[in-house]
Amino acid sequence: MHGLVATLILYGMLAGAEPVAAAPPACLHDGSGFLTARLRGDVEVELEWREPGLACTGMPRPDGLGMRLRFSGKLPDGSDLAIVFAPPVLQEGASARAVPVNVTVLHEASGMIYGTRGEQRCMLDEVTQQRLPDAAANQRTWQVEARGFCTEPARALDDSGVILMTRFDFRGQVILRREEARDSTAPDS
């Protein structure tokens, strides 16, 4: 990860651009975003991330099915960690129970990426969505709150390690462009 960042900065400098430190995105406009989780395995930690020490984003999945929510913050050793929840069957505005979810963990210090490799290993016990005021006319914004667990670990891409997330709770947001919206019955106001 550090190599990629250094390469991008070097490329920007060679192109005559000044490197700019990007500010982390806000999680929720009211500062109520959070992620709590228990991780075991290659990373042993009880996460208690809350704003402003938390960054989160959300968007549709690239295949157009469901959504992705990304949370990132610092570990106690100061290194960065990001966790991505990707429920493939959760639609815009829907609240549900027992929703399968893919989980990906990105550990900057080791450069490792861990994935559950399928949505049957982790579950959102309960998920609710609440419509938020939109920042732009061509988008819909939803607050997504969920709790869940994993029954099997996320495995390193090279199969050299594992991280088991025994439980998690989060509140973040998903922003959908009007043309990406799947549910035409969702309110426009």
For the stretch 107-129, pLDDT in tens is 998 999 999 998 889 999 999 99
For position 3, what pLDDT does the model report?
39
Per-residue confidence (pLDDT) for residue 18, from 0 to 100: 44
Distance of alpha carbon 88 from alpha carbon 71, whole angstroms:
17
CA distances to 37, 155, 179 from 144, rounded to whole Å, are 16, 26, 20
Residue with tokens 């060679």: 14
| pLDDT at 64 (0 to 100) | 78
How confident is the model at residue 178, as a pLDDT? 63
Q: State how far the alpha carbon of 179 is from the alpha carbons of 27, 67, 82, 134, 137, in Å.
A: 23, 15, 28, 15, 12
The pLDDT value given to residue 100: 96
The segments of the chain whose pLDDT lies below 50 read: 1-20, 24-25, 180-189
Structural domain boundaries in the chain: 26-180
Q: What pLDDT does 179 receive?
A: 60
Residue 9: its pLDDT value, please?
34
Are 67 and 87 in contact by the 8 Å Cβ rule? The answer is: yes
Q: What is the pLDDT of residue 62?
A: 83
Letter for the amino acid at 137? Answer: A
Residue 19 has what pLDDT? 46
Q: Which of 73, 71, 103, 109 is nearest to 88 (CA)?
A: 103
